Structure 1
Amino acid sequence: MLVVAAVGTGAYLNRPGSGVSIHAPAAPLFAWWLPHIGPGTPAAVVVAVVVVAWGPALAGRARWRVLLPAAYVAAVAWTFALALVDGWDRGVADRLTTRDEYLHEVPGITDVRAALRGFTDRILDFQPGSWTTHVSGHPPLATLVFVWLDRIGLGGGAWAAVLCVVVGCLAAVAVPVALVLLGRADAARAVVPFAVLAPGAVWVGASADGVFAGVTACGVALLALAARRASAAVAVAAGVVLGAGAFLSYGLVLIGLVALAAVVCGRRWSVAPWAVLGAVLVVVVFAVAGFSWWDGYHLVTVRYYQGIATERPYWYWAWANLAATCVCAGPAVVAALPGLRRGVRSRCDPVLVLVAAAAAAVLVADLSGLSKAEVERIWLPFVVWLWPAVSLLPGKQRGWLAAQAATALVVNHLLMTNW
């Protein structure tokens, strides 16, 4: 009902003469209505049918050494197939080459140290040398990822899109691995096919937010491993990865709630200081290089209201954002959430704690008003931690899996997503 209400209200506000600018033609999603098919259509349908038909059985009995690689390959195939519904150019090669994207600034960054020292000077808009939209809206590591990719000879939009997909799909492995390490192998097996056919794959391929989701999911999984083994070294590594996430996107400081949930479920508080140390090391490295995260965040909040955010009404997006998140998570996740508390084993059940932490991160981000629209991609790093809820769905999984796949296919074939 929330999605229907958001679509209906969005259509009403988008009508000529409404006097309200929501800047989302297919609200609550940031996309345009454009029914179409493409070369990825047959492949996407085949992947969906195969996973729906055999995924749950394979997930229930296969060894982890077989299941996890198979899940990753299937997730990559699903994501690429969805991207190719829009065609090679529109869906893959040109998706990250527009003026608003990171690649637009890559040729001009010839001195990384100088770019870091002067990064905050170029965040505000309407001045000579202002960074383009995505570069200005994120800490510098997001841009440097594509600079370094270009430096190793993998420049251009196609390689950038490939990076987004192959890194973003790591979440399909990292989330089940974290559940296993936290003592819920049964839930992990139930989650695997849903992680493969996640509707959010529409925005993993190809947007940099896919990279953000994959990186931070791996960071949380590393923290779960640190708790399992009581390893300070692994905890530091987890902190470094999660700290890097905060320098990919300012909003990813909220992934700390999910990281804290992993520590709580792992019942190894001794690893927490080591993880914090790892994150602090990242902050120090960037500070020494000349970039202050806090200064950047302050300027981004100013830049945010130099653009269309000033026109997008908070009263609509405060709840329409949640509708967009429901589409990204899929109907299976939405159906599982109401019964979450009743289905878990205890109040410290990893399924409950991780999902609650992810939901809290979404709510905080929503109330901040700094994500009015486009959250179907921006909140991907949080949405992947809502997946464990599907382990509590009653009845057979195939119907819910089919609903997940259908959601992604309908979105990708009826709409042309912007990012």
Structure 2
Amino acid sequence: MSTPPLRPPRPPRTAPRPKTRGRPRRAPRPEPRPEPRRESRRVRYDLYAAGAACALFALAALVGWSAYDPRETLRVPWPPLLARWLPHAGPGTPAALVLAALTVAYGPVLARRLRWRPLLAASWAAALAWTWSLALVDGWRRGAAGQLTSKHEYLRSVGEVHGLGEFLSTFTDRILLQSPGNWPAHVAGHPPGAVLTFAGLDRIGLAGGGWAAAWCVTTGTSAVVAVLVALRALGAERAARRAAPFLVLSPAAVWVGVSADGYFAAVAAWGLALLALSATGAVRAPRAAALGAGLLLGWALYLSYGLVLLAPLAAAVLVAARTARPVPYVLLGIAPWAVAFTAGGFWWYAGYTTLVERYHQGAGGVRPYAYYVWANLAAQVAVVGPATAAGLRRAAALGRGGAARVAGAGVPVAPAVLLAGALCAVLAADLSGMSKAETERIWLPFTLWLLPAAALLPARHHRRWLAAQAAVALAVNHLLITGW
């Protein structure tokens, strides 16, 4: 009896290959690191950009002193800034030096390693300490408590707010210089929301220049957090972390402490941050966030006429988020302010047109447009610092290349879109002719959004750029007595 032949063993089954359409997917290639020679060239261009910005500032000072009478024609003692030369030190000097050194040494590392919420808290605390230390270089009275009590400032008019209806209905009547009981310059130059803020503080027991200064510095420095929140919501957390030390150690802190424009900048910044959270769905209730954005942006319109130029920044947020869904809710949030102020007797557009006439009755009618149309931009070098100038050069390279990343830094396009919106706002304000001098404080709501440009700079050079930023702030605050 024959036995059947043995069958060969079956080959082991292998898992079926997944079906793929077209070409099989490849693992993403790591980003190529820039060639040393090319990166060296880029760094050199960064230095050129920073140097050109400083040269523009020096040219504005030289032309201001040689071609014009600073006090009679330009109406500023130390062009292009509203400041006067007076080298000095004060109680805030040691703290400012220590804070600058600590931020330069540890800021980039902490910004990279801290968890998100502790980073926000640390950034606000550091910005608060930095701004107060700079303000106190001039002493408590001259640097803080007395800043908002001068003859041109808001606190001089707080006692004249007796009833809201009467105040709003007669506000525009007192803007022009020939009007009986005309408002001081800053009250006349803004919608009634500005003085109403300080009247509100007075009514709840926080009267006087000290409380007003504390309000402006506390709210103004919170704008640092708002910018970080907006960047992260738009998918740029890494850029936000890289930008955090530059937002903290910004020379703009010289004018945030103490001017009401720091408060205005914070209201605007939080409005834009809520808009970013709503547009990207980064919160559980995006519609409520959009309403909140509208409420803050609407209030901003009644703090400063110039904040209508937040429109390019708001558009930039929506472009970066690639949606317009929040717009109806934002408009719904703005509406209550327009209704309330108009019903109370203040018509925004009438106030603005009357202000234009008042502006030309005073220093605005004397200051030459031909000088300030470019000197205003030069003045911003002292506000944003050389690192921002270098970062803007990198952003321009990003715009030309159309790529999502620059110099291997891993920075998304969203920050560049916000930079473009801020630049549009600044240029519109400049060309309007309604901002001749004093733009170091007036444009804070816009220049604040230029500071994240420094995130585009190579990380290994951040400490050097931070040191340059601190040097500008310390030099301005110790060599000059600024108007704010």
TM range (shorter): over 0.9
Residue 115 of structure 1 is matched in structure 2 by: 167
In 1, Cα distance between the equivalents of 2:324 and 2:146? 46
Measured after TM superposition, the shift of residue 289 of structure 1 is 1.6
1:173-212 counterparts in 2 under 5 A? Answer: 173-212=225-264
Question: Structure 2 CA distance, aligned partners of 1:66 and 1:343?
Answer: 31
Q: What residue is the counterpart of 2:443 in the other structure?
A: 379
The structural deviation recorded for 1:148 is 0.1
- Trace 1:18-417 onto structure 2 (pairs within 5 A): 21-229=73-281, 231-343=286-398, 345-346=403-404, 349-394=413-458, 395-417=460-482
Q: Distance in 1 between matches of 2:72 and 2:181?
A: 31
Q: Distance in 1 between the 2:174 and 2:271 partners?
A: 30
The alignment partner of 1:100 has SS state of: coil
Amino acid paired to 2:465:
W
SS in 2 for 1:305: helix
CA distance in 2, matches of 1:20, 1:140: 30
Uncovered stretches (5+) of structure 2, i.e. residues with no partner:
1-54, 406-411
Moved over 4 A (4+): none
> TM-score, with normalisation over the residues of structure 2?
0.84
CA shift at 1:341, angstroms?
Answer: 3.2
**Matched residue SS, 2:449:** helix
Identity of aligned residues (%): 53
Rg comparison, structure with higher value: 2
Give 3-state SS (helix, strand or coil) of 2:73's partner: coil
Contact 2:173 2:179 (C-alpha < 8 Å) held by counterparts: no
Give 1:94 deviation, angstroms. Answer: 0.8
Partner SS for 2:355: helix
| Matches of 1:89 and 1:20, distance apart in 2 | 28
> Could you tell me which amino acid in structure 1 is paired with residue 464 of structure 2?
G
Aligned 8 A contact 1:35 1:413 in 2? yes
* Residue 346 (structure 1) shift: 3.5
Count, aligned residues: 417
Tell me the SS of whatever aligns to 1:206. Answer: coil
* Kept after mapping to 2: 8 A contact 1:198/1:404: yes
Mapped to 2, the partners of 1:247 and 1:305 lie a distance apart of 21
Could you say what secondary structure the match of 2:325 adopts?
A: helix
Q: Distance in 1 between matches of 2:84 and 2:357?
A: 28
Distance in 2 between residues matched to 1:278 and 1:88, nearest whole Å: 38
Q: Matches of 2:167 and 2:337 in 1, distance apart?
A: 17
| Residues 208-252 of structure 1: CA deviation (Å, up to 9, x unaligned) | 000001110000000001112272221111011011111100000
Task: State the shift of 1:97 in Å.
Answer: 0.5
Greater alpha carbon shift after TM alignment, 250-259 vs 340-349: 340-349
SS of the aligned residue for 2:326 comes to helix
Q: For the residues of structure 1 that align with 2:161 and 2:337, how far apart are their CA atoms?
A: 21
How far 1:368 moved relative to its partner?
Answer: 0.5
Q: Deviations over 1:314-373 (max 9, x none)?
A: 111000000111211111101111221334744982111100000000000000000000
Query: Secondary structure, in 3 states, of the residue corresponding to 1:269?
Result: coil
The CA deviation at 1:312 is 0.7
Instruction: Report if the CA contact (8 A) 2:247-2:452 is conserved.
Output: no
Q: Quick check: 348-357 or 56-65, which moved more?
A: 348-357
Query: What whole-Å deviation, never above 9, does each CA across 1:247-272 have from its counterpart, x for those lacking one?
Result: 10000000121111111111231111
Any conservation in 2 of the 1:83–1:91 contact (CA below 8 Å)?
Answer: yes
3-state secondary structure, aligned to 2:481: strand
For 2:236, give the aligned amino acid. Answer: R
Are residue 2 (structure 1) and residue 56 (structure 2) matched?
Answer: yes
Is the 1:13–1:20 contact (alpha carbons within 8 Å) kept by the matching residues of 2?
no
Letter in 2 for 1:9: V
Structure-1 separation of matches of 2:375 and 2:273: 30
Mapped contact 1:13–1:21 kept (Cα < 8 A):
no
- Which residue does the alignment assign to 2:34? none
Q: Secondary structure at the match of 1:416?
A: strand
Give 1:20 shift. 6.4
**AA at the equivalent of 2:374:** W
CA RMSD in angstroms, aligned pairs only: 1.5
User: Residue 14 of structure 1: CA displacement?
Assistant: 5.2
Secondary structure at the counterpart of residue 119 of structure 1: helix
